[in-house]
Structure 1
Amino acid sequence: MPPAAAGIAAELTGFRREMLRFAVLQLRDQASAEDAVQEAMLAALQGADRFGERAKLRTWVFSILKNKIVDIIRRRIREPSYQEPEEEIDESDFDPLFTANGHWQRDARPADWGDPEKCFENQRFWAVFDSCLNHLPAATARVFMMREMLGLETGEICEELSMSSNNCWVILHRARMGLRLCLDQKWFANGDRAC
């Protein structure tokens, strides 16, 4: 093992559970998730001398994992297999938040989010965000993470999950609304807006 790898091996082991949870959510297959995590950890150890601490180790390792997950998803798209289609989503769940002409109801308006750039750098914010993401339905969180965190195109998501593009957009909308409502309650409304 290269000397640089020895220095990060223990830290990598500490990230493993979180990496596996992330991979299982995306891939919905324990074996594929294990493979992705192992490949990401191996790539991190082999590339430890290139790490250079320009980013946090966790960020660097998760970016490797994201790339491994994207590779697996794209490989699945090229090698189709049968999957049960996901249920269509009922749009009416969010109707009470809006008036007939599509504007926010007075009591459902989003809270002032302050400076989003500063929130992005705040560790406590990300812990709350992660909690909110984990409280979304698994399929909704998965679509959101595929789009926003893995950077997959909508067409790739639809192909991987065997869903229509309209359904994908509805799920993304629901994910964003769910995250907004959760963040309003757990972060912005509590005065934790230290951003």
Structure 2
Amino acid sequence: MQNETEKEYTIKKPHSDPLRWVEKYGDYLYGFAMSRIRNEDVAKDLVQDTFLAGLQRLDGFEGNSKEKTWLTAILKNKIADFYRKRSVSDLKEISATNEVQFFFDAESGHWTEKDYPRAFGLEVDNPLMVKELGSILNECLAKLPGLWFSVFSMKHIDDLESELICTELKLSAANFWVIMHRTKLNLRACLQKNWN
């Protein structure tokens, strides 16, 4: 039996109730996965895998973060694994030379007249216009290949460092920058085409 001094220093494990995870965090994790995967079935599978991994690692959860944060970190790793597996075939097709030749003049290196960036004419004080542009941007993002969307969202939505993204997705720095370049060119072209 412990004496009073020993009881003071006994560290209690944080209480975690896996039976309530789906109820408490299911919608949040599904929304998180959908914002990065854009495929309902895959997002659902990844959330289920997250809950399963959480159950398997429950003894390792020390309570240094909130349960929701811990589960989100597991989901982020599941998403990275998903794109890592898909990136091998996607990387074989990456080459920026066509885009450079298509959008830029070969002699001067400047934008071609047809592809020169135009002003969007966005009135930032007009919430309807901002909402419409956001809707069009989401449609353009949905058209991106999965790996491109993942790299773009990790960089510009999750605000991760380029080196970390390369490590997570097993990309070389050159592949990362080619993907970012192609993504930005595609988004710009899509926005200019669809924004009146």
**Quick one: distance in 2 between partners of 1:147 and 1:155?**
10
Bigger radius of gyration, 1 or 2? Answer: 2
1:114 aligns with 2:128: no
Partner of 2:133: 125
**Quick one: distance in 2 between partners of 1:158 and 1:69?**
18
When normalised by structure 2's length, the TM-score is: 0.58
1:99 aligns with 2:105: yes
Partner of 2:145: 137
Partner of 1:73: 77
Structure 1 residues not aligned, in runs of 5+? 1-8, 38-63, 191-195
Cα RMSD for the two superposed structures: 3.9
1:168 to 167, 176, 183: 176
More off after superposition, 106-115 vs 162-171? 106-115
Report the CA distance shift for 1:137/1:83 in structure 2 as closer, same or farther (over 3 A). closer
Matches within 5 A, 1:20-31: 20-24=33-37, 30-31=44-45
Contact map agreement 2:140 2:187 (CA 8 A) in 1: yes
Tell me which amino acid in the other structure corresponds to 1:163: L
1:155 to 149, 152, 163: 163
**Quick one: distance in 2 between partners of 1:71 and 1:18?**
11
Note the alpha carbon deviations across 1:9-62, whole angstroms, 9 max, x for none. 9xx96x886544224359x7754345669xxxxxxxxxxxxxxxxxxxxxxxxx
Q: Percent identity?
A: 25
When normalised by structure 1's length, the TM-score is: 0.59
More off after superposition, 88-97 vs 135-144? 88-97
In the alignment of these two chains, the number of paired residues is 146
Using the TM superposition, give the Cα deviation of residue 167 of structure 1 relative to its aligned residue in structure 2, in angstroms: 0.6
Note the alpha carbon deviations across 1:95-133, whole angstroms, 9 max, x for none. 121112210111111121234755898111111100000
